[in-house]
Structure 1
């Protein structure tokens, strides 16, 4: 798992998310890094908005 975290850290250092810097990524704990990756890549809110369309009645 350490190898995956290292790869993940390098990915975000080379292309940090909006509002963050590569320096921020360097100083993140492993847990924070994994949490950030989950939040950025998963549908954490479980909303399917837009999948069936938007209708106004």
Structure 2
């Protein structure tokens, strides 16, 4: 496990996101935790232009 990934279970077990319990977090795999963290912290993930920077149509 990477050092930043090692702290995710503790962070989310102490304060689980809405709809999840501490038990859910404890049962997540090493792959699921970073994915959940990414989606919880991504700004406006489902916006039409998410991830598009500097693209113009003339």
Q: TM-score, normalised to structure 1's length?
A: 0.71
1:27 aligns with 2:23: no
Could you list the runs of 4 or more consecutive aligned residues of structure 1 that deviate by over 3 angstroms after TM superposition?
A: none
**Greater per-residue helix proportion:** 1
Q: TM-score, normalised to structure 2's length?
A: 0.70
RMSD in angstroms over aligned alpha carbons?
Answer: 1.7
Count of matched residue positions in the alignment of Structure 1 and Structure 2:
48
Q: Which runs of 5+ in 1 are unaligned?
A: 49-57
1:8-55 CA distances to partner (integer Å, 9 max, x unpaired)? 11000000000100110001011111110000001322457xxxxxxx
Q: Which runs of 5+ in 2 are unaligned?
A: 50-58
